[in-house]
Chains A and B, each alone.
Chain A
């Protein structure tokens, strides 16, 4: 499975260059944009370190610096990605420096954070970069000492020739090594010999975080910088008609008030250019507080939007989308969904003959599940710094995928990409929302208009009511059982506003002879986007809850019930496009069963709920132990089992899973954004309930399946099954099933 040599012929690309002042730099491009020529580039002139980019920098005095290529939003890639390089480079982790790399897709690869892809997509290229650099240093030492390179060994940043007793630091050979052509086919380390990766390393930015250093976009400042805020309609389905800024302009510190368009008519959006409100009413002033206050004095007349069409050129080609007019309310949306759920839907997968199986069934179980829109609620509200002139643009701030937004910036500002510099700050959360680029474009346009450096700041209310939510979902699950209560057919019919969540080729697809998956959708002017494990975060709630009820109905243990299905899925799978590996899926269930003491008598005092799910290439299972605290259901303990292949930084990985569990409990119990006449009914944390410490479990015990499989994602996979496990524990705790999220809204009626 593992290709353990470096490979320059395909996607990965390595080149080295001499640092200003001497030294070796290795950089990589994950984009197959140009051919590898094997030659080195010599950079002369400046002595400034900051002018050189790439993954690895080594100075003659043996300072070793590793650059993290990928945006950091709390998944700790600032630590884990450099660890991968350090492993193959063979350096002492305690002695290296780590810093955020520049945005440069040609040198540093795709540079996007999303889809739990950071470690997965950089695993091989970063190993190759580290191994190639080490090999070049070895060659440099071999040439200097006039000995065969095969006799050179390394240890923790030092090169050795045992026979002659010679040794020297990487720094001593860095300059020479940088002139050596990039080697091909360098052998990568055996994973079993790793001594940096798979060992817990503290967050390299920990000290800066706990001392409040200016790491975030919100903290970015520059001489002469103005603050801009946007007044957007207070309801979806409305737009700016006219405004009177007379009073606003009289307020202290206010520089300008104006309206402008985000995109000109007919603009072809890229896949992540999502817009909610196209007419921007902008207030610019000296400080955030002054602008916030002055906004209150605006006199604005809003008017209803007309239905419109947007052309979106996404990853899957060009798509024309109709955005309906109207002011939507949650109650009417639910009624529409309920009606449409009964209508024929689009078939997504069919195995066997589900209709006949249902007709002949001895028992049919049917349940419907719903979930509301969710706001991302990143703790750092959206913001971006922009300084745009006629010649160039400097953009600084928190974004998950600067490479996706840069082409749009280029088009809109009419500047070539090489005149656009995007600097990536640490993000105060992202959860998918920061993959969308509207606020970057807005900042750029505002700076261009006012001819000054500006920081666009969203207030919490702006952030929560702008849109790009997790969609609103509904799904009906049906199961047909024979007289012995064996599952003979499974049917999922899922819908959503404006998209459904059905993943037709995931478990239990492949384990049931007769299977049908269908989807339906209702257009909306409320915008949606990726939210931690898109789609999966609803599927794992509904499907895993349904399977629990199904197991109960069949008189089977919920884990054994799933394991039996997975056995079938492995031995004699139904259909061809099953996305998951039945063995690995069963693996996490078996692990969580063992670690949680699933059948142990002392655990009977808990209301236990189990769920498992596969998404983003990884497998996760949880057992949630619920009790009553102050008369309310409380998740006191959680056991988690994960299979994401090789775990790069174990303690940080545990932290990620623990956080996903808490986030999952919070969203399952409390999360939800509702609308009345287009307006969000929650616009800040006084109305939008977030999970707080008193509701967080006392312990979350995390276990990883140990294997040598190339690593896959971890940010998203543990999140979805939490919802299902919580639902299943609630059933035990409250004596009834919960079908509608957020679950806590039904507690009072109990």
Chain B
């Protein structure tokens, strides 16, 4: 076990955990931030996506020891009032079905638009294809990202 001071959503959070503990579980079980989801544990579904210095990463493969001073952003901190353009677009297009994968989808989409404010459809498809949705909401996710891109 070791103590880490993590920068999460603009705050410093202290945890005392095994160095190998993935940020996914640090968030969910040590910091009471369950918006980041466990889906596969092998970085193949994207449900656990968070931002590390603004870049989308799979938190199930990110051990706490590797974070250092980098800034983590989770769905809880993506916007103050749940009104990030991507979140608003998700509501406008009423994307969710079961909703379990959607926070990961939103985090991937938000990182994409930050890096590339006006992505082509092919760029959206490439960026989003690491996120699985069994309900099959991809068509609406794509439309929501295009809407969010327009509003930026």
24 contacts between A and B (CB under 8 A): A74-B96, A74-B97, A202-B91, A209-B103, A210-B82, A212-B35, A212-B36, A215-B99, A216-B100, A219-B34, A287-B29, A288-B25, A379-B133, A379-B135, A381-B39, A426-B98, A429-B135, A460-B41, A662-B137, A684-B41, A686-B42, A694-B129, A697-B139, A698-B139
B61 interface residue per 8 A CB criterion:
no
Whether the Cβ atoms of A428 and B98 lie closer than 8 Å is yes
Whether the Cβ atoms of A655 and B42 lie closer than 8 Å is no
Whether the Cβ atoms of A214 and B139 lie closer than 8 Å is no
Complex CA distance for A658 and B95, rounded to whole angstroms: 11
- Min CB–CB distance A473 → chain B (angstroms): 21
Known: A212-B76, A212-B103, A289-B22. A655 touches B94 (CB 8 A): yes
> From DSSP, what is the main secondary structure of chain B's interface residues?
loop
B residues contacting A by CB (< 8 A) are: 1, 18, 20-22, 25, 28-30, 32-42, 44-45, 47, 74-76, 82, 87, 90-91, 94-103, 106, 121, 124-126, 128-142
Whether the Cβ atoms of B97 and A206 lie closer than 8 Å is no
Known: A685-B42, A690-B132, A693-B124. A212 touches B34 (CB 8 A): yes
In order of increasing CB-CB distance, the 3 nearest A-B pairs are A212-B35, A662-B136, A428-B100
User: Taking CB as reference atom, which chain A residue is nearest B24?
Assistant: A289
User: Taking CB as reference atom, which chain B residue is nearest A687?
Assistant: B44
Task: Please tell me which one of the listed residues B82, B91, B94, B134 contacts residue A379 in the complex, with CB atoms under 8 A apart.
Answer: B134
Contact with B along A239-275 (1 / 0, CB 8 A): 0000000000000100000000000000000000000
A residues contacting B by CB (< 8 A) are: 73-76, 202-203, 205-207, 209-216, 218-219, 221, 252, 287-290, 292-293, 376-381, 426-431, 459-460, 651-652, 655-656, 658-663, 666, 684-686, 690-694, 696-700
User: Taking CB as reference atom, which chain A residue is nearest B121?
Assistant: A698
Whether the Cβ atoms of B135 and A210 lie closer than 8 Å is no
Whether the Cβ atoms of B98 and A213 lie closer than 8 Å is no
Chain B residues whose CB sits within 8 angstroms of the CB of A459 once the complex forms: 41
Whether the Cβ atoms of B102 and A209 lie closer than 8 Å is yes
Chain B residues whose CB sits within 8 angstroms of the CB of A293 once the complex forms: 20
User: Taking CB as reference atom, which chain B residue is nearest A460?
Assistant: B40
Chain A residues whose CB sits within 8 angstroms of the CB of B74 once the complex forms: 212
Chain A residues whose CB sits within 8 angstroms of the CB of B33 once the complex forms: 212
Complex CA distance for A680 and B10, rounded to whole angstroms: 44
Chain A residues whose CB sits within 8 angstroms of the CB of B132 once the complex forms: 379, 685, 690, 692
Complex CA distance for A289 and B18, rounded to whole angstroms: 10
- Min CB–CB distance A523 → chain B (angstroms): 29
Chain B residues whose CB sits within 8 angstroms of the CB of A427 once the complex forms: 98
Complex CA distance for A449 and B110, rounded to whole angstroms: 45
User: Taking CB as reference atom, which chain B residue is nearest A286?
Assistant: B29
Whether the Cβ atoms of A659 and B35 lie closer than 8 Å is no
Whether the Cβ atoms of B1 and A684 lie closer than 8 Å is no
Looking at B44, B128, B133, which has the most chain A CB atoms within 10 Å of its CB?
B133
Complex CA distance for A311 and B103, rounded to whole angstroms: 43
Complex CA distance for A426 and B98, rounded to whole angstroms: 8
Chain B residues whose CB sits within 8 angstroms of the CB of A202 once the complex forms: 91, 94
Chain A residues whose CB sits within 8 angstroms of the CB of B28 once the complex forms: 219, 288
Complex CA distance for A205 and B47, rounded to whole angstroms: 18
Whether the Cβ atoms of A379 and B36 lie closer than 8 Å is no
Whether the Cβ atoms of A206 and B137 lie closer than 8 Å is no
Complex CA distance for A210 and B82, rounded to whole angstroms: 7
Chain B residues whose CB sits within 8 angstroms of the CB of A289 once the complex forms: 18, 21-22, 25, 29
- Min CB–CB distance B113 → chain A (angstroms): 15
Complex CA distance for A378 and B38, rounded to whole angstroms: 12
Complex CA distance for A661 and B135, rounded to whole angstroms: 10
Whether the Cβ atoms of B125 and A693 lie closer than 8 Å is yes
- Min CB–CB distance B82 → chain A (angstroms): 4
Complex CA distance for A74 and B76, rounded to whole angstroms: 22
Chain A residues whose CB sits within 8 angstroms of the CB of B30 once the complex forms: 287
Chain A residues whose CB sits within 8 angstroms of the CB of B38 once the complex forms: 218, 288, 381
- Min CB–CB distance A74 → chain B (angstroms): 3
Known: A684-B44, A685-B42. A693 touches B138 (CB 8 A): yes
Whether the Cβ atoms of A660 and B136 lie closer than 8 Å is yes
Contacts A211-B82, A693-B138, A698-B142 known; 7 new A-B pairs at CB < 8 A: A212-B76, A215-B99, A380-B100, A652-B94, A684-B44, A693-B128, A693-B129
Complex CA distance for A381 and B140, rounded to whole angstroms: 24
Complex CA distance for A220 and B10, rounded to whole angstroms: 25
- Min CB–CB distance A243 → chain B (angstroms): 23
Complex CA distance for A207 and B42, rounded to whole angstroms: 28
Whether the Cβ atoms of B98 and A74 lie closer than 8 Å is yes
Chain B residues whose CB sits within 8 angstroms of the CB of A206 once the complex forms: 90-91, 94, 96
Complex CA distance for A662 and B140, rounded to whole angstroms: 11
Whether the Cβ atoms of B97 and A210 lie closer than 8 Å is no
- Min CB–CB distance B42 → chain A (angstroms): 5
Whether the Cβ atoms of B98 and A380 lie closer than 8 Å is yes
Task: Please tell me which one of the listed residues B35, B40, B98 contacts residue A73 in the complex, with CB atoms under 8 A apart.
Answer: B98
Task: Please tell me which one of the listed residues A376, A426, A431 contacts residue B99 in the complex, with CB atoms under 8 A apart.
Answer: A426
Chain A residues whose CB sits within 8 angstroms of the CB of B29 once the complex forms: 287-289
Complex CA distance for A698 and B138, rounded to whole angstroms: 9
Task: Please tell me which one of the listed residues B42, B45, B96, B133 contacts residue A210 in the complex, with CB atoms under 8 A apart.
Answer: B96
Known: A205-B99, A212-B35, A656-B97. A252 touches B1 (CB 8 A): yes
Looking at A209, A218, A431, which has the most chain B CB atoms within 10 Å of its CB?
A209
Task: Please tell me which one of the listed residues A379, A656, A666 contacts residue B101 in the complex, with CB atoms under 8 A apart.
Answer: A379
Complex CA distance for A681 and B25, rounded to whole angstroms: 27
Whether the Cβ atoms of B42 and A74 lie closer than 8 Å is no
Whether the Cβ atoms of B135 and A659 lie closer than 8 Å is yes
Whether the Cβ atoms of B138 and A662 lie closer than 8 Å is yes
Whether the Cβ atoms of B131 and A207 lie closer than 8 Å is no
User: Taking CB as reference atom, which chain B residue is nearest A200?
Assistant: B94
Whether the Cβ atoms of A379 and B125 lie closer than 8 Å is no
Whether the Cβ atoms of A213 and B35 lie closer than 8 Å is yes
Whether the Cβ atoms of A380 and B37 lie closer than 8 Å is yes
- Min CB–CB distance A432 → chain B (angstroms): 12
Known: A211-B82, A212-B34. A694 touches B126 (CB 8 A): yes
User: Taking CB as reference atom, which chain B residue is nearest A216?
Assistant: B100
Whether the Cβ atoms of A75 and B97 lie closer than 8 Å is yes
Complex CA distance for A658 and B124, rounded to whole angstroms: 19
Complex CA distance for A377 and B18, rounded to whole angstroms: 30
User: Taking CB as reference atom, which chain A residue is nearest B29?
Assistant: A287
Whether the Cβ atoms of A210 and B47 lie closer than 8 Å is no
Complex CA distance for A381 and B1, rounded to whole angstroms: 28
Looking at A287, A376, A381, A431, which has the most chain B CB atoms within 10 Å of its CB?
A287
Known: A379-B101, A428-B100, A460-B41. A210 touches B134 (CB 8 A): no
Chain A residues whose CB sits within 8 angstroms of the CB of B40 once the complex forms: 460, 684-685
- Min CB–CB distance B31 → chain A (angstroms): 12
User: Taking CB as reference atom, which chain B residue is nearest A287?
Assistant: B29
Chain B residues whose CB sits within 8 angstroms of the CB of A203 once the complex forms: 94, 96
Whether the Cβ atoms of B141 and A693 lie closer than 8 Å is yes
Complex CA distance for A294 and B76, rounded to whole angstroms: 30
Complex CA distance for A93 and B58, rounded to whole angstroms: 39
Complex CA distance for A211 and B121, rounded to whole angstroms: 25
Chain B residues whose CB sits within 8 angstroms of the CB of A213 once the complex forms: 35
- Min CB–CB distance B65 → chain A (angstroms): 13
Complex CA distance for A429 and B132, rounded to whole angstroms: 12
Whether the Cβ atoms of B45 and A379 lie closer than 8 Å is yes
Complex CA distance for A658 and B134, rounded to whole angstroms: 12
Complex CA distance for A655 and B99, rounded to whole angstroms: 13
Whether the Cβ atoms of B99 and A663 lie closer than 8 Å is no
Chain A residues whose CB sits within 8 angstroms of the CB of B25 once the complex forms: 287-289
User: Taking CB as reference atom, which chain A residue is nearest B39?
Assistant: A379
Task: Please tell me which one of the listed residues B44, B87, B91, B136 contacts residue A663 in the complex, with CB atoms under 8 A apart.
Answer: B136
Chain B residues whose CB sits within 8 angstroms of the CB of A209 once the complex forms: 90, 96, 99, 102-103
Chain A residues whose CB sits within 8 angstroms of the CB of B90 once the complex forms: 206, 209-210
Whether the Cβ atoms of B96 and A429 lie closer than 8 Å is no
User: Taking CB as reference atom, which chain A residue is nearest B102?
Assistant: A209
Task: Please tell me which one of the listed residues B76, B96, B125 contacts residue A694 in the complex, with CB atoms under 8 A apart.
Answer: B125
